[in-house]
Amino acid sequence: MEIQNMFPIPLAFFDLDRNFKKSELSFLMNQETRPNTGNTTSKDFLILQNSKVKQLNIFVQSCVDKYFQEIYCPLHDVKLRITQSWLNYTKPGEYHHKHEHPNSLVSGVFYIDANEELDKIVFFKNKYEQIDIRPKNWNMYNSKTWWFSVKTGKLILFPSSFTHCVESKQGDNLRVSLSFNTFPVGQIGENLDMTGLYL
């Protein structure tokens, strides 16, 4: 038997490959927060625009550019611009609610502090299953959820419509992540197809 994956959902994983600078950590770990569903988030929703994390912004944008070029292969001069970016703080026993990222094409999560042994991100299949056949063994085809371990310095990019969450935080570390959204800038669509749009 030969199996082909049709229209897969592209997740991309990148590593910072360096330690955070003390000045970066001081800025990221000491933000004013507000309540979120299950955890807290920074009041500042433009974190990556701050000069104190300029090098992190360059890294994240370069990863976004690579993902966009390899996955979307745009015909016209169009790029993804990072719009909002914010920090999530999840204490032991807290969680990050099941959600998507509206008004964005590609979203990402960059881990500032995560325990690779215990911390994970969970993704959900965004498809109604008319017939529910219980599997003997779980795989990428029959699962309704799938999770990935995360660690400090890891960046995950995914389509913004992809539902995800963080289940109840295990361990005793404060899990800190930076989330962000993107939007196309440039020419998308085609004038002759009546889909032309210049952003």
Q: Beta-strand (E) ranges in 37-174?
A: 40-42, 78-90, 96-99, 106-113, 120-124, 145-149, 154-159, 164-166
Which of 176, 199, 177 has the alpha carbon at shortest distance from 189?
A: 199
Specify whether the CB–CB gap between 112 and 178 falls below 8 A.
yes
CA-CA distance, 104 to 181, in Å (whole number)?
Answer: 5
Is pTM beyond 0.85 here?
yes
pLDDT < 50: residue spans in the chain: none
Q: Which pLDDT value is given to residue 199?
A: 92
At 23, list the tokens: 């000045």
At 32, list the tokens: 């004013």
- 68 phi and psi, to 5 degrees? -65, -45
Which of 108, 84, 106 has the alpha carbon at shortest distance from 159?
A: 106
The model's pLDDT over 45-69, given as tens digits with 9 standing for 90+, comes to 999 999 999 999 999 999 999 999 9
Bridge partners, 158 (sequence order)? 107
Q: Which pLDDT value is given to residue 129?
A: 83
Residue at 49: amino acid letter:
Q
Q: Which pLDDT value is given to residue 50?
A: 98
Q: Which pLDDT value is given to residue 46?
A: 98
Domain boundaries, the chain: 12-128+136-184
The architecture in CATH of the region 12-128+136-184 reads Sandwich (2.60)
